[in-house]
Structures are given as C-alpha cells and as structure tokens.
Amino acid sequence: MGQENSAFHETMDIHELLNLKTVALLKSKMMQGVVFDQELRALMEKNVQMSINDVKQLQRLYPYSNTH
C-alpha cells in the first residue's frame, strides 16, 4: 500500500495503531525493570521484540513517516 492508495481513514487507522503499539512497547520495556520473575521478564522481552517489528511495519505504511 503506497501513499497514493491510502484513504484518509486508512491513514488515521495506521496512525492510531502506530501510537498504540508505541505506547505499549514503551510500557513493556519500562516494566521489565521492575519485574523479578524471569519467565515474565522473558515474555515481556518477546513482546518488546514483536512490537518493534510491528512498529517498523506500520511505519512503512504510514505516509507521513520519514522512514521511506
């Protein structure tokens, strides 16, 4: 999906998803510092890595991103 193919509502949806994923990523990353259970910490790290990939994919779709 390129910039010329994105309708306004699609662009706004991508923007909202990007914001949601970014906030969730930051929260998971920060919470790792206060979690002492190693299994939970490992799950949180997996979530962080998956969220980073999700954010990168969303940035490619977002027409106002500087990552093109």
The structure's pTM equals 0.75
pLDDT exceeds cutoff 90 at 64: no
List, for residues 27-54, the tens digit of each pLDDT value: 999 999 999 999 999 999 999 999 999 9
Q: Find out whether 40 and 48 touch, Cβ atoms under 8 Å.
A: no
| Angstrom distance (rounded) from CA 11 to CA 58 | 10
